[in-house]
């Protein structure tokens, strides 16, 4: 027999609840510099008490300035001489001032080529979707969704971009870049080869990785002498049109570094925040006081207080983010001191190692190291890339990144007529002191984008074909 009963029970428990602002503060940690600037700009547009800082304008109250200086300015060697200037409230000389910067070179041409603001917006969308070789990445087709009902403008802009220098950029792949270069670099080539001929020759060039020269020519009904002449032309083209600059183009090098690590006069490492990567925003306290006198209703005053609290919360969150980023970077510099000073290899370093040095939780270290870049004596690099797993036993532990670099060096120097197999790589790595299994080598080779030995042999044979006929 089924009985239905109604009862009332009390259960006591504890639950951690994150407020909306606390969640946003956590998200701020993992924002890149660009994402943070976009977020701050949206906050400025929504909050009338926030404003972007202008040089010579001092709107913060004296107490706020003192609090900022105490919390952020004088806090040890790494914080010395850190004030509102160090936090990004004043501008310094530009970080990228090389006249041969790919970024500035192409940007200048875009402004000269397009006078229409909409065309400029489309052009810069394509520009931000170039890879390190100057070719469009897989996201460029999203332009047709972002700029809806503007297919004609998109096609017009893309056609114009493909005429910019260095010739061959804004192509979808290296083969389209070849066609652009043949068409634009030399009128002689453009007169000899029509577009259809160029496409056929390039299609034949692709097959050289799998077939020999005579078989390819037979399949496409080419004369061998004519195809050899075309191969000589390809050899004179630029395979990486965006790399011939003093500052090579890549996402990491066109983005302003978050942290600068440099050697001082005593050959020690100085770690400091880069003010150009930090948002320049302040709370307009005088405007708040003025509005508070004019508002009479409780709803208006509540709205004003809420905006004032939100503005101060944002400033405090930005300060905490900057301090956390600096603490983590100092710990990383301490652990990798020999690596940055170019006197030793990259040592194994985990989130736990940095967490113990900074008294921060591992999740906080992970978030703050996401999408952050370092300007170091050894170049610009991602902060996240310095963290690695340990490979081998504790007595002879190696950094996974160190092993990957060793694999790259070995493959680069391998004999082209007999590429090294994974088993060969294991033996050579063992002689260098790396205790590693074959499956691990295979995994790291895949991560590095290195083809298998059989595939590399085909690639070497195709490259050799071009050199033979030069």
What's the CATH number where 411 sits?
Answer: 1.10.10.60
Structure tokens, 311: 């503005």
| Residue 63 within a domain | yes
Q: Which segments within 224-346 are labelled E, that is strand?
A: 259-263, 269-273, 281-283
Cis upstream peptide for 166 (omega within 30°): yes
Range of the domain at 199: 174-235
Q: Which of 291, 310, 329 is the last residue of a domain?
A: 310
CA dihedral 264, 270, 276, 278 (to 10 degrees): -170
Q: Which helix (H) or strand (E) holds 375?
A: strand 373-376
Question: Measured in whole angstroms, how far is the alpha carbon of residue 186 from the centre of its chain?
Answer: 35
| Residue 68 within a domain | yes
| Residue 320 within a domain | no
Average pLDDT, the chain: 76
> Which residue, 316, 399, 332, 315, is CA-closest to 368?
332
| Residue 323 within a domain | no
pLDDT tens digits for 350-402? 888 999 999 999 999 999 998 888 888 877 788 887 886 555 543 344 567 67
- Report which DSSP code applies to 379: E
The pLDDT value given to residue 272: 92
Q: For 272, phi and psi rounded to 5 degrees? A: -145, 155
d(CA 289, CA 465): 77
Q: Where does 139-284 have alpha helices with state H?
A: 143-146, 151-161, 174-185, 187-192, 195-207, 213-220, 224-235, 251-254
Q: Where does 336-437 have alpha helices with state H?
A: 337-340, 351-358, 362-368, 400-412, 422-431
Question: Measured in whole angstroms, how far is the alpha carbon of residue 214 from the centre of its chain?
Answer: 44
- How many domains does one find in the chain? 3
Question: Measured in whole angstroms, how far is the alpha carbon of residue 329 from the centre of its chain?
Answer: 18
pLDDT tens digits for 75-85? 333 333 333 33
| Residue 59 within a domain | yes
| Residue 254 within a domain | no
The mean per-residue pLDDT over the stretch 264-288 comes to 87
β-partners of residue 78 are none
The mean per-residue pLDDT over the stretch 145-161 comes to 81
| Residue 261 within a domain | no
pLDDT tens digits for 281-318? 888 888 888 888 888 888 888 999 999 999 999 999 99
**401 and 460 assigned to the same domain:** yes
Percent of the chain at pLDDT exceeding 90: 10
Most confident of 14-23, 119-128, 221-230: 119-128
| Residue 354 within a domain | no
Q: Which of 257, 289, 310 is the last residue of a domain?
A: 310
Neighbours of 311 (CB within 10 A): 23
CA dihedral 371, 374, 375, 380 (to 10 degrees): -60
């Amino acid at each position: 027999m089924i009985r239905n009963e109604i009862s009332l029970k009390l259960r006591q428990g504890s639950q951690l609840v994150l407020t909306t602002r606390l969640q946003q503060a956590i998200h701020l940690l993992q924002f890149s510099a660009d994402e943070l600037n976009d977020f701050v700009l949206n906050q400025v547009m929504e909050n009338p008490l926030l404003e972007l800082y202008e040089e010579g304008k001092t709107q913060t109250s004296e107490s706020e300035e003192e609090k900022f200086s105490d919390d952020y300015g004088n806090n040890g060697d790494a914080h010395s001489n850190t004030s509102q200037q160090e936090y990004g409230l004043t501008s310094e000389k530009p970080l990228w001032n090389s006249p041969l910067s790919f970024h500035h070179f192409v940007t200048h041409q875009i402004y000269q080529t397009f006078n229409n603001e909409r065309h400029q917006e489309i052009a810069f969308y394509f520009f931000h979707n170039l890879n390190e070789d100057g070719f469009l990445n897989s996201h460029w087709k999203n332009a047709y969704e972002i700029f809806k009902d503007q297919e004609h403008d998109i096609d017009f802009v893309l056609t114009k971009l493909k005429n910019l220098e260095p010739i061959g950029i804004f192509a979808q792949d290296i083969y389209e870049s070849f066609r652009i270069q043949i068409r634009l670099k030399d009128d002689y080539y453009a007169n000899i080869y029509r577009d259809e001929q160029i496409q056929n020759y390039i299609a034949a060039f692709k097959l050289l990785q799998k077939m020999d020269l005579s078989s390819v020519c037979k399949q496409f009904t080419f004369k061998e002498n004519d195809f050899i002449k075309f191969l000589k032309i390809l050899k004179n083209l630029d395979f990486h049109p965006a790399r011939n600059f003093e500052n090579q183009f890549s996402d990491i090098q066109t983005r302003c570094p978050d942290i600068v690590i440099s050697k001082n006069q005593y050959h020690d490492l100085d770690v400091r925040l880069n003010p150009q990567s930090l948002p320049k925003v302040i709370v307009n306290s005088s405007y708040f006081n003025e509005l508070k006198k004019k508002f009479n209703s409780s709803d208006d005053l509540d709205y004003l207080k809420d905006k004032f609290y939100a503005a101060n919360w944002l400033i405090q969150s930005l300060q905490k983010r900057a301090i956390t980023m600096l603490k983590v970077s100092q710990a990383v510099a301490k652990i990798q001191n020999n690596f940055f000073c170019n006197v030793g290899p990259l040592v194994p370093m985990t989130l736990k190692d940095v967490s113990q040095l900074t008294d921060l939780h591992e999740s906080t270290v992970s978030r703050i190291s996401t999408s952050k870049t370092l300007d170091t004596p050894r170049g610009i690099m991602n902060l996240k890339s310095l963290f690695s797993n340990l490979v081998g036993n504790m007595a002879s532990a190696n950094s996974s990144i160190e092993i990957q670099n060793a694999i790259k060096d070995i493959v680069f120097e391998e004999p082209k007529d007999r590429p090294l197999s994974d088993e060969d790589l294991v033996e050579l790595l063992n002689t260098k002191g790396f205790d590693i299994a074959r499956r691990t080598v295979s995994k790291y080779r895949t991560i590095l984008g290195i083809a298998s030995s059989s595939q590399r042999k085909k690639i070497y044979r195709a490259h050799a074909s071009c050199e033979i006929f030069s």
